[in-house]
Amino acid sequence: MLLEVLFILHVLQSQVLTVKSSSSESDESSERDEEHSKGSSHQQHWGYHDQDSWLSSYVDCGGKSQSPINLNTRQVTYDPRLPVIHLEGYDLTDTPPLSLLNNGHTLQLSLPNSMRIVRGFHQIYVAAQLHFHWGTTEVPGSEHTIDNIHFPAEIHVVHYNSKYPNLSEAASKADGLVVLGAFIGIGLHENDNYEKILSALTDVSREESNTEVPAFNIRHLLPNSLERFYRYNGSLTTPPCFQTVSWTLFNDTIRVSRRQLAALEDTLKTEHNKLLSRNFRAPQLLHGRNVLTSFQTVAAAGSARGAHLSETQDANIKESSETHEALSKGDVLAIVFGVLFAVTLLAFLMYAYQQRKKYSKYKRHSKRNVIYKPAVKEEA
């Protein structure tokens, strides 16, 4: 029985390895494809293939408070005084339709200034737009990373300080912007709220095309819980990279179906009719900045057992995000190991039960033997 379990474990391991190596192969080949097309096409505007050159036209992109960053759960500071965020006017049911735009860099939904963050910061912040960052089927494309792991996609809801007249005025002011960000992973079910945007994707597939979508409750595009978040001072993640953003990244995540994510990755076109994908900037150096959290991470809780637990969790997340099946593959592995554990436990219990039966039989026998038949030879 034990051998059987070991064998299953071995087979499972080699399968995981195969999936991993095949996915990194396709990764490299699409990288090569991109090199080709880059050589032949001349880019007039900034793009995601030449991020290092952004700072030659936009000096702020070379600053010391740039975004995105890697969120290292072992190097964050728990701050219990971080106030909870209160949103107002996010439910747009019964308001006029919203404009959805493919601007060549992202998919962007315009938001009315009735949507506000009324508590959580020193001022009131007014919503302007939300947009997304994503990768390809092979490459997860969130901008921020958790312990160096990308999620498949990320949503940004951009707000500006209500003391300025509009987003463009506020964007260059030190206290100008607040962005709420959340990670998007793959779940088993269709996300009906995301479908309200994603169902209009084909209408905006061309660069600079837009359409209208019926208004809905924007709160439902964010994770259920907004109480656990990371907070740091950073920048716009696109040129001109102004270092004016107070970032909030939620610990709770959003899930969309595999089909929905694929639609986001495969529908929109950018200049020269190229696929609009991998629109994420590489993580930037911290340069001594603090990342605060409104919650205690497992690592920060500090016990040796907790630290070990989070290490194994990291490894699982890494494995699954490398195969780009993010959470669902992790779930499958968890179930498989759960079942294996149950089988092993059952086998052990059966073994123990048999041993006990044997032992009590032996005891009965020996008792009888002692009392009634002291001379009879004992069976094996």
Ligand X SMILES: *[C@@H]1O[C@H](CO)[C@@H](O)[C@H](O)[C@H]1NC(C)=O
Active site residues: 105
How many Å apart are CA 283 and CA 306, to the nearest integer? 27
Q: Which of 134, 167, 142, 129 is nearest to 244 (CA)?
A: 167
Q: How far is the CB of 249 from ligand X (least distance, A)?
A: 7
Measured distance CA(283)–CA(145) in Å, rounded: 8
Report helix angle 304-322 to 326-371, nearest 10: 130
User: Taking CB within 5 to 8 Å according to partner kind, which of Zn ion, ligand X, none is near residue 199?
Assistant: none
Site for ligand X in 100-119 (CB under 6 A): none
List 39, 165, 288, 374, residue binding ligand X (CB under 6 A):
165
Residue 292 binds ligand X, judged by CB under 6 A: yes
φ, ψ of residue 337 in degrees (nearest 5): -70, -35
Closest to ligand X by CB, 171 vs 200, is 171
Cβ proximity of 149 and 327 under 8 Å: no
Stretch that binds ligand X, among 155-163, 227-235, 255-263, 275-283 (CB under 6 A): 227-235
The 40-79 contact track toward ligand X, x by CB under 6 A, reads ---------------------------------x------
In the complex with ligand X, the residue whose CB is nearer, 12 or 292, is: 292
CB-nearer residue toward Zn ion: 54 or 298: 54
Query: How many residues interact with ligand X (rule CB under 6 A)?
Result: 18
Nearer to ligand X, 267 or 321 (CB): 321
Find the binding residues for ligand X in span 228-257 (CB under 6 A).
231-233, 251, 253
Closest contact distance (angstroms) between CB of 241 and ligand X is 17
> How many Å apart are CA 230 and CA 76, to the nearest integer?
8
Contact positions vs Zn ion (CB under 5 A): 156
Answer for which of 13, 18, 148, 166 binds ligand X (CB under 6 A) is: 166
Q: Which of 18, 29, 123, 290 binds ligand X (CB under 6 A)?
A: 290
Residue identified by tokens 């709420």 is: 180
> Smallest gap, in angstroms, from Cβ of residue 314 to ligand X?
8
Cα distances (Å, whole numbers) of residue 356 to 132, 248, 347, 359, 378: 61, 59, 14, 5, 18
Rounded Cα distance between 256 and 259, Å, is 8
**Between 36 and 81, whose beta carbon lies closer to ligand X?**
81
Neighbours of 152 (CB within 10 A): 27
Candidates 10-18, 48-56, 164-172, 347-355: pick the segment binding ligand X (CB under 6 A): 164-172
CA–CA dist 326, 328 (Å, integer): 6
CA dihedral 209, 211, 216, 217 (to 10 degrees): 10
- Least distance from C-beta 158 to Zn ion, angstroms? 7
| CB of residue 12 to Zn ion, shortest distance in Å | 38
Q: Which option in Zn ion, ligand X, none does residue 233 bind, with CB closer than 5 to 8 A by kind?
A: ligand X
At 171, list the tokens: 């964007």
- Amino acid in position 216: F
Question: Nearest-CA neighbor of 248 among 233, 265, 235, 231?
Answer: 231
Does residue 104 sit in helix, strand or coil?
A: coil
210: helix, coil or strand? strand
Strands 70-71 and 77-78, how do they pair? unpaired
Q: Compute and round to an integer the Cα radius of gyration of the chain.
A: 27
Q: In angstroms, give the least distance from the CB of 368 to ligand X.
A: 59
Which partner in Zn ion, ligand X, none is near 257 (CB below 5 to 8 A by kind)? none
Residue 156 binding target from ligand X, Zn ion, none, CB below 5 to 8 Å by type: Zn ion
Distance CA 253, CA 256 (A): 10
List residues binding ligand X (CB under 6 A).
73, 146, 165-166, 168-169, 183, 231-233, 251, 253, 290, 292, 297-298, 310, 313
